[in-house]
Amino acid sequence: MNQLFPEIRTIPYEGPKSKNPLAFRWYNPDEILAGKPMREHLRFALAWWHTLCACGTDMFGGDTMDKSFGTSGMDLAKKKADAAFELMEKLSIDYFCFHDYDLVDEADTLAETNARLDEISDYILEKMKATGKKCLWGTQKLFGNKRYMHGAGTAPNADVFAYAAAQTKKNIEISVKLGASGIVFWGGREGYETLLNTDMGLELDNLARFLRLSIDYARSLGFTGDFYIEPKPKEPTKHQYDFDAANAIAFLRKYGLDRDMKMNIEANHATLAGHTFQHELRYSAVNGFFGSVDANQGDMLLGWDTDQFPTDVYNATYCMYEVLKAGGFTNGGLNFDAKTRRGSNTPEDLFYSFIAGMDTFALGLRKALALVEDGRIDQFIAERYASWTTGIGKRVIDGEATMEELEQYALRMGDVSTNLSGRQEYLESVVNDVLFGN
């Protein structure tokens, strides 16, 4: 096959001292760390939409990148697939993620669009068999077409709901065909602008109905992977129904969907919700909803989703620390829901960006393992909560203490005599020590 990026060879691992911009310094895919290869810890995925489709357009200007490959239509769809697999091969990325309408352009009718999806998924399946690359997750694009301007599963018009269900049915079929280990539901327009025109109760009930229908259909096809909600607080709508992990989990529990769904946590969505990335991961994990990750970063000075390639080593370390504490990925992975900046517009920038993101998370993995091995943070937390392992604390945890007993205990005690320091600054310096010390 002719290469689309012939000037760039397979990216080698050269170690931390390398100055070669087309080499990894931290990502050594088959290096074993804590019993498994780095590629299995990290399960990197390429996002079809940003990588093959986004051309730099913003609110103020058009494309700065040419991803037309000199063609159009189904031929372009296949060229994009060729490019995706060449990138995955050269970058040692094992997985990809897609929206249905990243793979092909929508046609004038649903039937014709579905035929295009059949054709491209056959083509991709062949490439998967030839290369061993896998699908991390597929999702349906229920926010681009104007028919979804008021929502999809939460649309006020039942015809829109029906169309969205039909589109989702097809996406589930091609996701299953491609062996996806997950199916994502990002509620792109599942929210509202004003309550003056919105029946919130019906919209929430319908969103649950939409998810239940989708899950049951996928299971009926034998899909055994995970379903993910991807929380995001705002953009495109002012009030997105899946605001953050806590909100999404409460929603799933109310509607009895909690056994079927997990979270796909995106770093930039977390910060838009006023949370750290780590908070969203921890909240998901302690509630049994840890699933997958959209690895990117936002800009703290901007109030929208900039989807930047992640280069912040602290956040990558804290993310991988959560992943390790959650027992590692099962069906999930690290999907680079990230695009090169509008001004980073050459094919080499795609490689530099993936290398930057992958090396950042590879370094994050190494440092997270070092933090666990160092043990000072775990030990500090264990000591901080030690009062729950004996005496009155243990009686509360065992469900034995009564309000009367707690009152007697407090009366005898007089007042709390020891309240240990939280030592935040010390602990932050422990992290710096593990990150930068020798």
User: What is the distance between the alpha carbons of residues 220 and 232, in angstroms, rounded to a whole number?
Assistant: 29
User: What is the distance between the alpha carbons of residues 66 and 214, in angstroms, rounded to a whole number?
Assistant: 36
Out of 102, 226, 242, 266, the residue judged to bind ligand XUL by CB under 6 A = 266
Contact status: 230 vs ligand XUL (CB under 6 A): yes
Q: Whole-number minimum distance, CB 429 to Co ion, in Å?
A: 33
Which one is catalytic: 102, 242, 305, 337?
102
Q: Whole-number minimum distance, CB 203 to Co ion, in Å?
A: 22
Q: Whole-number minimum distance, CB 183 to ligand XUL, in Å?
A: 11
Residues 337/343/346/349 CA torsion (nearest 10 deg): -50
* 94 vs 294 by CB, closer to Co ion: 294
* 85 vs 336 by CB, closer to ligand XUL: 336
Instruction: Please report, for residues 81, 197, 309, 348, 358, the alpha-carbon distance to residue 9 in angstroms, rounded to integers and kept in the order given.
Output: 18, 55, 21, 11, 17
- Please report, as a single letter, which amino acid is at residue 167: Q
Residue nearest to ligand XUL (CB): 186
Q: Could you tell which of Co ion, ligand XUL, none binds residue 184, using a CB distance below 5 to 8 A set by kind?
A: ligand XUL
DSSP class of 59 = T
159 contacts: CB under 8 Å, gap ≥ 6: none
Q: Are 324 and 35 in contact (CB under 8 A)?
A: no
Known catalytic residue at 50: no
* 113 vs 240 by CB, closer to ligand XUL: 240
Backbone angles phi, psi at 293, to 5 degrees: -135, 135
315 contacts: CB under 8 Å, gap ≥ 6: 267, 276, 277, 278, 297, 364
Provide the 3-class DSSP secondary structure of residue 149.
coil
* 266 vs 280 by CB, closer to Co ion: 266
Angle at 307 between CA 301 and CA 310, to 5 degrees: 90
The neighbour count for residue 83, using CB atoms within 10 Å, is 19
For Co ion, the binding residues (CB under 5 A) are 266, 294, 337
Contact status: 337 vs ligand XUL (CB under 6 A): yes
From residue 167 to residue 206, the character string flagging contacts with ligand XUL as x (rule: CB under 6 A) and all else as - is: -----------------x-x--------------------
Give the total of residues touching ligand XUL (CB under 6 A). Answer: 10
* 51 vs 206 by CB, closer to ligand XUL: 51
Contact status: 242 vs ligand XUL (CB under 6 A): no
Which one is catalytic: 41, 99, 269, 275?
99
* Residue corresponding to tokens 């990117």: 296
Known catalytic residue at 102: yes
For 363, the token pair is: 């370094």
Q: Where along the sequence are the contacts to ligand XUL (CB under 6 A)?
A: 99, 139, 184, 186, 230, 232, 266, 294, 305, 337
Give the residue numbers annotated as catalytic, written as ranges.
Answer: 99, 102
